[in-house]
Structure 1
Amino acid sequence: MAANVNVALERVQAIGRDVVAALPNVLIALVVLLGFWLIARAARGLVERVWGSREGNLGRLFGRLASGGILTLGVLVGLTIVFPSVTPASLFSLLGVGGVAIGFAFRDILQNLLAGILLLLTRPFRLGDQIVVGDTEGTVEDIQVRATIIRTYDNLQVVIPNADLFTGRVTVKTAYEVRRLQYDVGIGYGDDIGTAKRVIQDTLAGLKLIRQDPAPEVLVVDLAESSVNLRVRWWIDPPRRKDALDSQDEVLQRIKEALLAHGIDLPFPTRQILWHDQTEAADGDRAAQREGWPAGKGDAPRPRWRVLAEKTGQDAE
């Protein structure tokens, strides 16, 4: 028992001597790490100033990457100072194996990180653009390394992973300075199409919320069940959501008032239902019955009940 206690005490003393001997190296490593931290901070500020004036978020991203790389190098140098037996070659080999493990463990995070870098480089959309991603539509507020922040029109914040934006379909509604809107207006079949077109075009010519170059258009697009559909197309500038709603509100109100003032009908959907008495003698006789088909001259198919009555010898009447 006493021997075991002596061995334990010797080991504790040896550890204490090693710690005391390593204290100078630890202090030197801390000083070196502090120097690398200052360099990393200065490098981050320099990169953000150089890139930030041109690329915005891309400058912050590269600044963080530069700072992280310098700090990682400082930690490696500090480890070699504290533990002289550790060589740079062994550290880099350990980082290689650990990098593969980290890559598998954080695959989704790294995928979003790479997608964020590519989005910032290619810039398919920018801060302030209004985009549509799946069921989400709103204004881009921030493009981060991992995700993009979108503010919807009803003031909700949506965080979308960058990988979804980079690999999916994105509609940028403010990519160009002007945007075309359209709406279908139905007029009655008894109304004159040329007159309706002229009334709509004259109405749109006096509106200030839409562009007159390109000029608004009115096209016949469908002969529907209860109306002749005219497609009204016009351009707006700027192409933001509020401007689109304001222009559509004024266009539709003015078109409705103008068409009704000129006696042009705006018909409701209607459906015609034809009833006939199933006990009529002409029921099923296409030569005599008028509902649904024209009367023939005798070449129409005979009603089945009449043919059956003749075969059985019964009175057809």
Structure 2
Amino acid sequence: MTGSGFRQESVDFGDVIERVENIFSSLFLSLPNVIIGIVVFLIFWALSWVVAKLVGLAMQRAGRPRGLQMVLSRLTAWSILTFGLLVALTVIFPTITPASLFGALGVGGVVIGFAFRDIFQNLLAGILILFTRPFRIGDQIVSENHEGEVVDILVRATLLRTYDNRVVVIPNSELYTKRVVVNTAYENRRLSVEVGIGYDESIADARAAILEAIATLPGIVTDPTPEVLVNLLGDFSVILEVRFWISPPDRREAVEAQDQVLEAIKRALTAAGIEMPFPIQKIMLDPRDPRSEDSL
């Protein structure tokens, strides 16, 4: 120890040089593995590009939606690239075994899965919707409190344009797990309206007048034929349900057809002299109640 209290130690430059030489020597020895690993990864990269193109062409020939083509092509490419990266790492670092890599990926996959659970649910639901095609772009659907036309089906969500020209973004997991009504699934669609006639009126005459009135309306198909059924014996009228079919089955046609049918029914029943009563309340006064005399 010196007078200042510090101990001076000599630096062995020979040890430093030897360590540096060992590092460069190990790098030089591992250089072939690095080159081979890079070559292996490039081969898998080229393979992923080719296979993704083939998958896209196969899906296109099968008539699958463009969104499904892109999703499956990208998933295929990323899967091959991930596998190629694992192979390249085992080549560059021989001490790393495939078992240890897959084990680390398994733990990491569980963590990522919990962190991005909602995203993965929507992703999987989007792929299933694009593959099974319960509805397509241009269809008019009803989901929960939302109704409108499907304008696009993305991997994460479906875009729905409402009839008042707004866009609703609905997660695909909700559309896949909850009830969805497709109004335009078939060529024809059945609609119905209700009309009340008086109890003294003839149901047969009312039925004949209604069927004759709506038979020639535009947009009303004749096969299946319209029908008029007694739906309810109400408090002040007999409720008739008028069923008819329209084509095409979209919202615009449905609104116009319903307007024309109701107008034609009103005109036909009025012309036939058939009463369409409105609610009537009868007030009975008890003569024994002194308040009844005061109200007269």
TM-score by length of 1: 0.76
Higher relative contact order by CA 8 Å / sep ≥ 6: 1 or 2?
A: 2
Query: How far has the Cα of 1:172 moved from its partner?
Result: 1.5
2:172 paired residue number: 162
User: Is the 1:126–1:140 Cα contact (8 Å) retained in structure 2?
Assistant: yes
Query: How far has the Cα of 1:6 moved from its partner?
Result: 7.6
Q: Secondary structure at the match of 2:230?
A: strand
Structure 1 residue ranges without an equivalent (≥5)? 284-317
Instruction: Output the CA distance in 2 between the equivalents of 1:12 and 1:130.
Output: 73
2:98 paired residue number: 88
Instruction: Output the CA distance in 2 between the equivalents of 1:15 and 1:143.
Output: 58
Matched pairs, number: 283
Q: Secondary structure at the match of 1:185?
A: strand
Which of residues 105, 120, 129 is equivalent to 2:115?
A: 105
Residues 1:268 and 2:289 aligned together: no
Residues 1:41 and 2:49 aligned together: yes
Instruction: Output the CA distance in 2 between the equivalents of 1:5 and 1:103.
Output: 52
TM-score by length of 2: 0.81
Mean Cα displacement is larger for which, 127-136 or 261-270? 261-270
Query: How far has the Cα of 1:164 moved from its partner?
Result: 1.8
Structure 2 residue ranges without an equivalent (≥5)? 1-7
Q: How does 1:69-84 map to 2 (within 5 A)?
A: 69-84=79-94
Q: Secondary structure at the match of 2:229?
A: strand
Instruction: Output the CA distance in 2 between the equivalents of 1:281 and 1:186.
Output: 36
Query: How far has the Cα of 1:142 moved from its partner?
Result: 2.9
Residues 1:207 and 2:220 aligned together: no
Change (3 A) 1:279 1:159: closer
Instruction: Output the CA distance in 2 between the equivalents of 1:109 and 1:282.
Output: 71
Identity among equivalent pairs (%): 50
Residues 1:186 and 2:196 aligned together: yes
What amino acid is aligned across from residue 186 of structure 1 in structure 2?
A: G
Which of residues 265, 277, 280 is equivalent to 1:255?
A: 265
User: Is the 1:132–1:170 Cα contact (8 Å) retained in structure 2?
Assistant: yes
Query: How far has the Cα of 1:14 moved from its partner?
Result: 7.2
Q: Secondary structure at the match of 1:229?
A: strand
User: Is the 1:216–1:235 Cα contact (8 Å) retained in structure 2?
Assistant: yes
Instruction: Output the CA distance in 1 between the equivalents of 2:288 and 2:204.
Output: 45
Q: Rg: which structure is higher?
A: 1
Which of residues 237, 247, 252 is equivalent to 1:242?
A: 252
* Alignment RMSD: 3.2
Q: Deviations over 1:142-199 (max 9, x none)?
A: 3333322222222222222222222211112122221110000112233332222111
Q: How does 1:274-285 map to 2 (within 5 A)?
A: 274-277=284-287, 279-280=289-290
Change (3 A) 1:275 1:19: farther
